[in-house]
C-alpha cells in the first residue's frame, strides 16, 4: 500500500494583485472634463464670420501636460464647423491676439491683464481657472462647486469681443457681472 | 493502513467478508476497477453498510483511482467519492486509529482540492475553482475545525478570486460589467468577515475610483454640458464611495505607498487639492526617508 504523499497548500496570496492608482488617471479625468467644456464653448459661442476661416486656435498659457494632451487629442478628432482645431501652448501675451480661445491656467493668472490688453479689438474668448478672474476680464472662469467642475460666465466680458453667447450656456453657468 | 485492514478483516464476517477481502486483494494488485466493484457492493449490503472499516477501504480504493487515473482532472469524481467515504468511516468508527487514518487521508485529498482551486483561478476555469474551494472547506473543517484557520483560507481565496474578477472586468469594461459586481461582492464578503483587511479595503477603494475615472475618460468631447454634469455627479458619488475604504486602508497602514497615492488621487478628483497635496507630501516624506 502506498504511503500518503505530503503536499503543501499553494499560497493563494501570490494570486492576489493590488491595482495601484495612477495619479495621471486623476489628472487626465480632470483635464477631460475641461476639454469637454471648452469644446462646448465652441458650440454655444459664435465668432464673427471673419474668424470662421483657417484653423480654430486654442491658446493655452501655462504648463499642464495632461490638459495639453487632452486638448491635442480632441484636436485630432473634432472640428469647429469646417475649421480644424489647433492647440498652441503660449508664453507671450502678444500671441493671444491670434487665438479664438485663450485659456489662462491658474498658475499664469497674473498674465490675464496683459492678455486683455493684447486681445482688445479682437474676437477672443478668455477662459481662466482661478476664483475672481471673471470679474477681472475673463469671459468664462472654471470654478469648483461642491466638488464639481462648474463655470462662471461674465456675459459682458464675452460680448465686448464681438462674440455671441447662447442663452443656454448663460443659463448653465454661474453668472458674474 | 495495513493494521487498520487487519482489524477490518477480523470484524467482517460471512459473505460480505469475501467482498471486502476481495476489494483489498484487488487494491493490493492495483486492479482498481475490480476493487471498486467489490467495495461498492460491500458498502451497499446491510451487513457491511455501517462498517466503518469497509468505508475506510472504499475511501482508499477511490483515492487510489484518483491518484492513478484522475490526478489531472480537477473535477475528479473519485476524489469526492474517496472524501465522502472517509467522512462516513469517521462517523461510523470513532476509534483513535481509524480517526487518525481518515483525517490524514481527508487532509491529503482536501489539499489537492485547494491546490486545484488555486490552479483554476483564471478567466476560463474560475467556476471550477469556486466549486473545489467549497469542497475543500467542507472537508477541511473535519481536519481542522478551528474557525480562525478556515476563515483565513476563505479570505485568501476570496481575495484571489476578487482579483481575478477585477482582471476579467478590466479586460472588457463594457462587455464584462458583471465581473465588477462580482468583485465588489467578493470584497464585501471579506470585509464582513474581517473589516480590518487592508487589501480588501484598498482594492474596494480602487474599484470605485477606477469606475469613476473610466466614466469620465470614456466620455466623448461632444458631450453636452447637461450630460457632463450628470457624468460628474455620478463620478463624484463613486469617488465618495471609494473614500471610506481608502481611508480605512490608510488607518490600518499610514505609510503604505499605494494608499497614499490613492487618497491623493481621490481628493484630486474631488477637486480638494489641499487634501490631495497633503497625502502627496506624506508620500514624498516617506520616500525621502527610505
When pLDDT is averaged across residues B255-276 and rounded to a whole number, the result is 95
CB contact under 8 Å between A20 and B261, yes or no, is yes
Q: Which residue in the set B108, B199, B265 is minimally distant from A21, CB to CB? A: B265
- On whether residue B207 sits in a domain, the answer given is yes
CB contact under 8 Å between A5 and B236, yes or no, is no
A35 strand-pairing partners: none
The per-residue pLDDT for range B57-87, each reduced to its tens digit, is: 999 999 999 999 999 999 999 999 999 999 9
CB contact under 8 Å between B232 and A149, yes or no, is yes
The three cell numbers of residue B22 are: 476481495
**Is A1's pLDDT higher than 60?**
no
What integer pLDDT is reported at residue A38 of this predicted model? 98
When pLDDT is averaged across residues A145-161 and rounded to a whole number, the result is 96
Residues of A in contact with B114 (CB under 8 A): 9-10
Residue B57 contacts residue B20 (beta carbons within 8 Å): yes
User: Alpha carbon of A145 to those of A131, A142, B2, B76: distances in Å?
Assistant: 11, 10, 79, 60
- On whether residue B239 sits in a domain, the answer given is yes
- What confidence tier does A2 reach under pLDDT thresholds 50, 70, 90? very low
**Is B208's pLDDT higher than 90?**
yes
- On whether residue A17 sits in a domain, the answer given is no
When pLDDT is averaged across residues B43-56 and rounded to a whole number, the result is 93
What integer pLDDT is reported at residue B3 of this predicted model? 43
ipTM score for this prediction: 0.89
- On whether residue B16 sits in a domain, the answer given is no
When pLDDT is averaged across residues A69-96 and rounded to a whole number, the result is 96
CATH assignment at residue B242? 1.25.40
Interface of A with B (CB under 8 A): 1-2, 4-5, 7-10, 12-13, 15-23, 25-30, 32-33, 35-37, 39-40, 74, 77-78, 144, 147-149, 169, 172
- On whether residue A96 sits in a domain, the answer given is yes
- On whether residue B285 sits in a domain, the answer given is yes
CB contact under 8 Å between B225 and A169, yes or no, is yes
When pLDDT is averaged across residues B8-35 and rounded to a whole number, the result is 81
- Least confident interval from A102-106, B12-16, B46-50, B148-152: B12-16
Residues of B in contact with A149 (CB under 8 A): 232, 271
Question: Domain containing B253: what range?
Answer: 196-290
Chain A interface disruption, residue of B122, B153, B225, most A CBs within 10 A: B225
What integer pLDDT is reported at residue B178 of this predicted model? 97
Report how far residue B58's alpha carbon sits from residue B35's, in angstroms, rounded to the nearest whole number: 9
Q: What does the DSSP 8-state code read for residue A100?
A: S
Percent of chain B with pLDDT over 70: 94
- On whether residue B124 sits in a domain, the answer given is no
CA distance A162 to chain B (A): 23
Report how far residue B103's alpha carbon sits from residue B83's, in angstroms, rounded to the nearest whole number: 10
Q: What does the DSSP 8-state code read for residue A29?
A: H
- On whether residue B288 sits in a domain, the answer given is yes
Cα nearest neighbour of B25 on chain A: A1
Report how far residue B156's alpha carbon sits from residue B118's, in angstroms, rounded to the nearest whole number: 10
CB contact under 8 Å between B225 and A40, yes or no, is yes
Report how far residue B61's alpha carbon sits from residue B28's, in angstroms, rounded to the nearest whole number: 10
- On whether residue A7 sits in a domain, the answer given is no
The per-residue pLDDT for range B238-255, each reduced to its tens digit, is: 999 999 999 999 999 999
What integer pLDDT is reported at residue B6 of this predicted model? 46
**Is A85's pLDDT higher than 50?**
yes
CB contact under 8 Å between A29 and B261, yes or no, is no
- On whether residue B271 sits in a domain, the answer given is yes
CA distance A117 to chain B (A): 30
A46 strand-pairing partners: A164
What integer pLDDT is reported at residue A15 of this predicted model? 61
CB contact under 8 Å between A17 and B225, yes or no, is no
Q: Provide the domain count of chain A.
A: 1
The three cell numbers of residue A58 are: 486654442
CA distance A155 to chain B (A): 18
CB contact under 8 Å between B219 and A36, yes or no, is yes
Report how far residue A86's alpha carbon sits from residue A5's, in angstroms, rounded to the nearest whole number: 71
CATH assignment at residue A40? 3.40.50.2300
**Is B2's pLDDT higher than 50?**
no
Residue A151 contacts residue A133 (beta carbons within 8 Å): no
CA distance A109 to chain B (A): 18
CB contact under 8 Å between B159 and A74, yes or no, is no
Q: Provide the domain count of chain B.
A: 1
Report how far residue B18's alpha carbon sits from residue B12's, in angstroms, rounded to the nearest whole number: 9
When pLDDT is averaged across residues B36-55 and rounded to a whole number, the result is 94
The three cell numbers of residue B63 are: 483515492
What integer pLDDT is reported at residue A14 of this predicted model? 59
Of the CA atoms within 13 Å of residue A67, those in its CB half-sphere come to 20
- On whether residue B28 sits in a domain, the answer given is no
Question: Domain containing A99: what range?
Answer: 24-175
- B114 burial (CB, 10 Å; 0-12 / 13-18 / 19+) is buried
When pLDDT is averaged across residues B205-223 and rounded to a whole number, the result is 95
- What confidence tier does A19 reach under pLDDT thresholds 50, 70, 90? low
Amino acid at each position: 500500500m502506498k504511503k500518503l504523499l505530503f503536499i503543501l497548500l499553494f499560497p493563494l496570496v501570490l494570486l492576489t494583485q493590488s491595482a495601484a492608482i495612477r495619479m495621471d488617471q486623476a489628472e487626465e479625468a480632470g483635464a477631460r472634463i475641461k476639454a469637454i467644456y471648452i469644446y462646448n464653448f465652441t458650440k454655444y459661442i459664435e465668432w464673427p464670420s471673419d474668424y470662421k476661416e483657417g484653423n480654430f486656435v486654442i491658446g493655452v498659457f501655462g504648463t499642464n501636460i495632461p490638459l495639453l494632451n487632452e486638448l491635442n487629442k480632441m484636436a485630432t478628432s473634432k472640428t469647429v464647423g469646417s475649421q480644424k482645431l489647433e492647440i498652441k501652448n503660449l508664453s507671450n501675451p502678444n500671441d493671444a491676439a491670434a487665438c479664438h480661445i485663450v485659456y489662462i491656467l491658474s498658475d499664469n493668472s497674473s498674465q490675464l491683464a496683459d492678455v486683455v490688453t493684447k486681445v482688445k479689438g479682437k474676437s477672443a474668448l478668455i477662459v481662466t481657472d482661478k476664483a475672481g478672474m471673471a470679474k477681472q476680464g475673463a469671459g468664462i472662469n472654471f470654478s469648483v462647486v461642491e466638488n464639481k467642475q462648474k463655470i462662471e460666465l461674465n456675459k459682458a466680458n464675452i460680448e465686448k469681443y464681438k462674440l455671441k453667447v447662447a442663452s443656454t450656456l448663460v443659463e448653465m453657468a454661474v453668472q458674474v457681472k | 493502513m495495513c493494521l487498520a485492514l487487519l482489524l477490518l478483516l477480523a470484524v467482517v464476517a460471512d459473505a460480505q467478508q469475501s467482498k471486502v477481502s476481495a476489494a483489498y486483494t484487488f487494491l493490493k494488485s492495483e486492479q482498481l476497477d475490480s476493487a471498486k466493484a467489490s467495495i461498492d457492493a460491500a458498502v451497499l449490503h446491510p451487513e457491511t453498510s455501517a462498517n466503518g472499516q469497509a468505508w475506510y477501504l472504499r475511501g482508499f480504493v477511490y483515492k487510489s483511482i484518483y491518484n492513478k487515473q484522475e490526478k489531472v482532472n480537477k473535477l475528479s469524481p473519485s476524489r469526492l467519492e474517496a472524501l465522502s467515504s472517509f467522512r462516513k468511516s469517521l462517523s461510523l468508527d470513532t476509534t483513535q486509529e481509524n480517526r487518525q487514518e481518515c483525517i490524514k487521508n481527508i487532509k491529503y485529498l482536501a489539499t489537492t482540492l485547494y491546490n486545484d482551486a488555486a490552479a483554476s483561478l483564471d478567466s476560463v476555469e474560475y467556476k471550477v475553482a469556486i466549486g473545489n474551494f467549497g469542497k475543500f472547506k467542507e472537508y477541511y473543517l473535519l481536519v481542522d475545525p478551528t474557525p480562525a484557520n478556515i476563515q483565513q483560507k476563505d479570505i485568501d481565496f476570496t481575495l484571489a478570486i476578487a482579483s481575478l474578477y477585477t482582471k476579467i472586468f478590466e479586460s472588457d469594461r463594457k462587455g464584462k460589467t458583471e465581473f465588477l459586481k462580482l468583485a465588489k461582492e467578493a470584497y464585501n464578503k471579506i470585509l464582513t468577515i474581517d473589516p480590518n483587511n487592508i487589501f480588501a479595503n484598498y482594492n474596494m477603494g480602487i474599484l470605485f475610483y477606477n469606475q469613476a475615472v473610466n466614466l469620465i475618460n470614456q466620455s466623448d468631447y461632444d458631450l453636452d454640458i447637461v450630460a457632463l454634469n450628470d457624468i460628474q455627479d455620478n463620478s463624484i458619488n463613486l469617488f465618495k464611495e471609494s473614500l471610506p475604504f481608502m481611508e480605512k486602508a490608510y488607518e490600518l497602514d499610514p505609510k503604505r505607498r499605494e494608499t497614499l497615492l490613492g487618497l491623493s488621487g481621490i481628493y484630486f478628483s474631488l477637486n480638494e487639492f489641499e487634501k490631495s497635496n497633503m497625502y502627496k507630501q506624506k508620500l514624498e516624506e516617506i520616500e525621502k526617508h527610505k
